[in-house]
C-alpha cells in the first residue's frame, strides 16, 4: 500500500468507473424530511451523496483529498473542492454536514475534524457521521482485530457543550452491501446525528 494519502485515494477512485453513484442509505434516512439548505460533504468520494442532495435542492460543497474524486464531481448546486482535512477545512457555515465513512489507513485526527465540523454548523444545523462498524470482504480495511468506536464513543470524544449541541440519534443498524465485484455481505453502520442549538 502506498504511504501517501492523496496518491492512495487517487488510485482508489481512478479504479472505480465514474458511473451514476447512489447516495448512502443512512443519508437518505436522516435527511429526506429536512428542508434544503447548505450542505458540506466531507470525503465526498464518488459523489453520490452530493448529487442526491443537490437534486433535492441543497446547495452542496463537496470535498475530498483525492483530486480524481473532486474532478469527477460537478453539476448544478455543487461546488467540488479538494481539501486534505489533516491541514485544511472548507470555509463557511452549513445547515448540514455529512461525514460518511471518513476512515482512512493514514493518520487523521478525526476528532478535531468532526469538532470543527460541529462548530461550522449554523444554528439548528445537523452533523451526520456514518462510520463502518464492521469489515466487508472487499474493504481496504482487513485488520483481523479492528476496533470501530461506537457512536456514543465518538460523541463523547467530541466533548461538545450539551447546551450548544444535542445528540439526536445514535445507532448501529445493519444493511446488505454490494462490493465492486457484485458480491454481497451484511455490514454494520455506526450512525451519529448531532444538532446545533437553534
Q: What is the pLDDT of residues 17-28, one digit of tens each?
A: 776 688 999 999
Q: What is the pLDDT of residues 123-144, one digit of tens each?
A: 999 999 999 988 887 776 666 6
Q: What is the pLDDT of residues 29-62, one digit of tens each?
A: 999 999 999 999 999 998 999 999 999 999 999 9
> Domain segments of the chain: what residues?
5-196
Q: What is the pLDDT of residues 129-187, one digit of tens each?
A: 999 988 887 776 666 667 789 999 999 999 999 999 999 999 999 999 888 788 899 99
Q: Quick check: 62 and 79 in contact, CB under 8 A?
A: yes
User: What pLDDT, on the 0 to 100 scale, is given for residue 13?
Assistant: 77
- Which fold, 5-196? Rossmann fold (3.40.50)
In the predicted structure, residue 3 carries a pLDDT above the cut 60: no
Place of cell 460533504: 41
Average predicted confidence (pLDDT) for the chain:
90
Residues 112, 90, 120, 25: what is their CA dihedral angle, to the nearest 10 degrees? Answer: -80
In the predicted structure, residue 67 carries a pLDDT above the cut 60: yes
Neighbours of 161 (CB within 10 A): 8
Q: E strands, 46-164, where?
A: 59-64, 78-82, 94-100, 121-132
HSE toward the beta carbon, residue 116, CA cutoff 13 A: 16
User: What pLDDT, on the 0 to 100 scale, is given for residue 196?
Assistant: 98
Q: Rounded to 5 degrees, what are φ and ψ at 114?
A: -70, -35
Amino acid at each position: 500500500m502506498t504511504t501517501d494519502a492523496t496518491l492512495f485515494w487517487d488510485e482508489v477512485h481512478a479504479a472505480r468507473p465514474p458511473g451514476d453513484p447512489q447516495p448512502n442509505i443512512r443519508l437518505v434516512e436522516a435527511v429526506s424530511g429536512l428542508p434544503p439548505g447548505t450542505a458540506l460533504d466531507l470525503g465526498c468520494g464518488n459523489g453520490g451523496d452530493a448529487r442526491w442532495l443537490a437534486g433535492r435542492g441543497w446547495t452542496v460543497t463537496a470535498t475530498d483529498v483525492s483530486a480524481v474524486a473532486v474532478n469527477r464531481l460537478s453539476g448544478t448546486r455543487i461546488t467540488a473542492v479538494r481539501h486534505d482535512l489533516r491541514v485544511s477545512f472548507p470555509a463557511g457555515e452549513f445547515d448540514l454536514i455529512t461525514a460518511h465513512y471518513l476512515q482512512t489507513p493514514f493518520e487523521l485526527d478525526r476528532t478535531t475534524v468532526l469538532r470543527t465540523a460541529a462548530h461550522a454548523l449554523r444554528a439548528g444545523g445537523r452533523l451526520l457521521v456514518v462510520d463502518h462498524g464492521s469489515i466487508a470482504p472487499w474493504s481496504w480495511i482487513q485488520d483481523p482485530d479492528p476496533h470501530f468506536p461506537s457512536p456514543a464513543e465518538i460523541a463523547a470524544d467530541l466533548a461538545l457543550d450539551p447546551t450548544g449541541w444535542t445528540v439526536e440519534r445514535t445507532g448501529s443498524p445493519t444493511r446488505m452491501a454490494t462490493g465492486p465485484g457484485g458480491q454481497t455481505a451484511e455490514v454494520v453502520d455506526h450512525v451519529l446525528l448531532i444538532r446545533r442549538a437553534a
